[in-house]
Amino acid sequence: MPDGSGKIVVTLTQSASYNYLNGFILSENSSTTTHTTRNNTNGVIPEQAGALQVQAFPNPSSHYFTLRVMGTTNRPGQLHITDALGRVVETRNAVPANTTLTIGAAYRPGVYYAQWMLGGTKQVLKLVKTTAE
């Protein structure tokens, strides 16, 4: 049920696993509460008032995805790509901050999740690979 401002807030206790619930992404922050956010921002999920943004385009794609990571920090991050069953498809460590990557050219059609990790923050983007036209 929405609150007075129209927001639906779901509070969960922190756990080590991440679940994808009907189009929602669970984003963990430094507090002991995890908040859900609807991913309707065309692949952009900002971290703490714009300190970090991760974009994926085109999405869906029949060829490859371009990931753009932008933020105010210069620390490198990690990228893990998993398929819809949670199997790791690709991992990249020590990815420079404020960078652009190309991934997915060899991926089969299906749903993938790009997990960008920087310190204690984890951003997750849903990627859809379609068949080539």
- Give the distance, in angstroms, between the CA of residue 33 and the centroid of all CA atoms in the same chain: 19
Using one digit for the tens of pLDDT, what is the confidence trace for 96-124? Answer: 888 999 999 999 999 999 999 987 788 99
- Supply the CATH number for residue 112's domain: 2.60.40.1930
Of the candidates 42, 67, 60, 57, the one whose C-alpha atom is nearest the C-alpha of residue 130 is 60
Q: Is residue 60 part of a domain?
A: yes
Structural domain span for residue 64: 41-129
- Give the distance, in angstroms, between the CA of residue 27 and the centroid of all CA atoms in the same chain: 9
* Eight-state DSSP code of residue 87: -
Q: Is residue 10 part of a domain?
A: no
Using one digit for the tens of pLDDT, what is the confidence trace for 25-42? Answer: 444 444 433 333 444 444
Q: Is residue 34 part of a domain?
A: no
Number of domains the chain contains? 1
Q: Is residue 117 part of a domain?
A: yes
pTM for the model stands at 0.62
Range of lowest pLDDT (41-50, 53-62, 124-133): 41-50
Of the candidates 37, 29, 34, the one whose C-alpha atom is nearest the C-alpha of residue 11 is 34
Yes or no: say if 77 and 116 are a contact pair by the CB < 8 Å rule: yes
Torsion of CA 84, 85, 86, 88, to 10 degrees: -80
Residue bearing the bigger pLDDT, 11 or 119? 119
Q: How many other C-beta atoms can be found within 10 angstroms of the C-beta atom of residue 103?
A: 19
pLDDT of residue 11: 60
DSSP assignment string, 69-81 = EEES----EEEEE
pLDDT of residue 12: 52
pLDDT of residue 70: 86
- Mean pLDDT taken over the chain: 75
